[in-house]
A and B are shown apart, each in its own frame.
Chain A
């Protein structure tokens, strides 16, 4: 078993106001202050004390010793397939906010210091842990993720305080941590490498974009639909016939057709996962499993892949 060197940083995203042009509230840009980084795996990390603070979010330090819910929302898919365990110990390292994995590893009796332990479990969607703190004080959280095949273990450590009343010095510590991390990356040459790699990636992206644009230009497809059930109604399953023609009006045959869509104003997709189930010939494709659950403006995105490339056609639909 190899314990990888941790690279843990808490990034602070300052919130620039809520007036993002999204109906239905914010998505990623909400007051989600923390990102926990377990090696290269990232997750949003937040804590709630619903009994005393309702829906208020905390990044690490918690105001009162009460039921606390730790939420990790994965930003990296592989975390959802890994066994993740979660331990909270009383801070016996004596290092407080500077406690690191090395310090934790040196604790002889980790079980003795443990106040909460969630055994390894694979959580495919979101990782949730609830612990009722009985006393205030300094604690250290330890999150480990194990890759199922290789057995590799990744660990992140985060010190925090329960019974925390103000901002105190912690913005300073965050800044210090970030500076230290950047300095470390710079000294180890990783930062320079990262820039190097990403310049390459950026130019690749530009080239790809150029090709994509020329593709779209080359294939000005038109997509229309007929709904055999008549005018589409909400809350019903629909089966449509899509008719796809190219610029000159010729039927497009043998294409791979994928369909998605949603309500741009409401920031959500279709309630179902519709599929093209059959090519009927003459540019007609049978689309099944389509449903709309609200009245209003919808957009249906039809992605057509032929030998000539891929084109996405948007069909507006007012219900």
Chain B
């Protein structure tokens, strides 16, 4: 009997020790100078000024942004009079739509990406098949599944609406006569409409999140404020994010994206063949008449470094643009076809990182415990913040 109790006691001790080891919070080490440098590079404070877009002469013209915002919310720019850019890019959902795939006149091929901070990216769309915001804005207008409109109808609308005509002629000069319509002048008007929409989109930026405030409290050495801002789990999650989990290999810089294309082996959408992604997108952007080197670009020097030096090889099979991680809570479902409904599913995907269906999965399995995954998720949520609009038209979109 005594022997029996001794055994039980020993067992209890072992259980307690293991439980302590597993559950008792371990002290969190301080951030090193090197860590701090990485954290500062992720903070919104490192987001430099938006670089000028030489291919768009009105990119930073406030009047163009005002014109662009009206166009953005205008449902007349569609075959059925019911679709505007804001149908899918809803300001309230961080300019996404909460659906797996975009839904306008028809269903698109991919998840609606956010516009917030998109002006910083050299490539637009998940596969980068456009090289500027203005050429991007043109594609959905003519897509049968989106606005199902065409450039001739766009030109006619601008000509028939007195306010639009005034905007246009102030910004771009005389609107060409609708009759006889020639392709070149129709294209010029169409491109200019894209440039006005781009000018509006260039004003849509992320604002300071709890993470950014935490970094500034670290820089200031304000310990009280640090405790107020970040829980231990969030700190651990952040530590994993910049360390062991290797997230910053792709999600780096103040927008948490390197604006590049990577294959992370996401399973294909039910019923679809796997999406080829960038390898097809780069081919398309090279041939697009509205690209940086095209006749409708305002860049007289046609320097176009991004197009000039773009990679085109088979490593881009199944690769998609790294999305920003700022404010994830409003942008679910995730991935290029909205394959994952929750952040937990996304993290589970990286935890396993199986071989890709096509191309080569660049991600390495994390192999984390559920606890670590929860910490990562806790950190990711701290990137939530409202959108900052540098102009007043945003409220039109409600």
Contacts and interface: CB of A to CB of B under 8 A. Distances in A.
Contacts of A32: 355
A271 to B, nearest CB: 5
A25 to B, nearest CB: 5
B355 A31 contact: yes
A266 B308 CA distance: 25
A25 B273 contact: no
Nearest to B269: A50
Contact of A55 (B312, B317, B355, B362): B355
B314 interface: yes
B273 A51 contact: no
A273 B286 CA distance: 14
Contacts, number: 120
A32 B354 CA distance: 12
Given A50-B270, A69-B357, A266-B249, A273 B311 contact: yes
A294 B358 CA distance: 23
A275 B309 contact: yes
Interface string B343-369: 000000000011111111111110000
Contacts of B358: 71, 73, 126, 128
Interface in A268-309: 268-275, 288-291, 293-296
A25 B364 contact: yes
B260 A293 contact: yes
Contact of A69 (B274, B309, B362, B364): B274
Contacts of B280: 125
A237 B252 contact: no
Given A55-B354, A295-B248, A25 B258 contact: no
Given A50-B268, A54-B354, A289 B309 contact: yes
B312 A295 contact: no
Interface residues of B, number: 45
Contact of A25 (B248, B309, B355): B355
A67 B310 contact: no
B64 interface: no
> Counting chain B CB atoms within 10 Å of each CB, which of A67, A266, A273, A293 scores highest?
A293
B271 interface: yes
Contacts of A55: 265, 267, 354-357
A234 B252 contact: yes
Interface in B252-287: 252-253, 258-261, 265, 267-268, 270-274, 276, 279-280, 283
Interface in A235-278: 235, 237, 266-275
Contact of A273 (B258, B267, B312, B353): B312
Given A26-B355, A69-B268, A294-B252, A126 B276 contact: yes
A48 interface: yes
A272 B310 contact: yes
B274 A71 contact: yes
Interface string B50-83: 0000000000000000000000000000000000
Interface of B: 38, 248-250, 252-253, 258-261, 265, 267-268, 270-274, 276, 279-280, 283, 305-306, 308-312, 314-315, 317, 353-365
11 contacts: A25-B355, A55-B265, A69-B274, A71-B274, A126-B358, A128-B276, A273-B309, A273-B311, A288-B309, A291-B309, A294-B249
